[in-house]
């Protein structure tokens, strides 16, 4: 049976015991790993957790601290993160190449030249 949401409602306010959120995150991680095994060109992960946001556009959200939420995200595996991806090594090599290219093109925050051509000693470096 495939599901998209898990809901747990307590009949009264409760305190979560120490370590509960870590244990719950591990269980969610198990589900994500199973999804990746079944969908080798995709990745899934627990992207955020905490109080439930209540959006009142266009304002910043308010948070309902009586509701604990874990958001899970999913996308194409573009960097070879999924160990079941048959294109993993190629994707990892491409991602490494892109990181190296970005690093080469870093600009100095002080003078604006490439890091390798820096005319000053200003730090930190800023990416263009």
94-120 pLDDT tens trace: 999 999 988 888 888 778 787 777 777
- What pLDDT shows up at residue 74? 98
pLDDT at 19 over 80: yes
Q: Which residue has the higher pLDDT, 67 or 58?
A: 67
CA dihedral 27, 38, 79, 75 (to 10 degrees): -70
DSSP 114: B
Task: List the chain domain ranges.
Answer: 1-86
Q: Which residue has the higher pLDDT, 56 or 38?
A: 38
pTM of the model: 0.74
- Rounded Cα distance between 43 and 32, Å, is 8
The tokens for 3 are 């599901």
3-state secondary structure of 95: helix
pLDDT at 42 over 50: yes
Position 81 confidence tier, pLDDT thresholds 50, 70, 90: very high
- What pLDDT shows up at residue 59? 84
Q: Which residue has the higher pLDDT, 125 or 9?
A: 9
């Amino acid at each position: 049976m495939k599901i998209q949401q898990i809901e747990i409602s307590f009949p009264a306010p409760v305190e979560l015991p120490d370590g509960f959120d870590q244990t719950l995150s591990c269980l969610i991680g198990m589900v994500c790993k199973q999804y990746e095994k079944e969908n080798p060109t995709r990745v899934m992960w627990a992207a955020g957790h905490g109080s439930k946001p209540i959006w009142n556009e266009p304002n910043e959200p308010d948070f309902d601290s009586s509701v604990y939420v874990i958001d899970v995200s999913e996308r194409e595996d573009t960097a070879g993160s999924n160990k079941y991806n048959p294109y993993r090594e190629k994707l990892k090599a491409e991602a490494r190449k892109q990181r190296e290219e970005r690093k080469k093109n870093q600009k100095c925050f002080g003078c604006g030249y490439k890091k390798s051509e820096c005319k000053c000693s200003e730090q930190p470096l800023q990416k263009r």
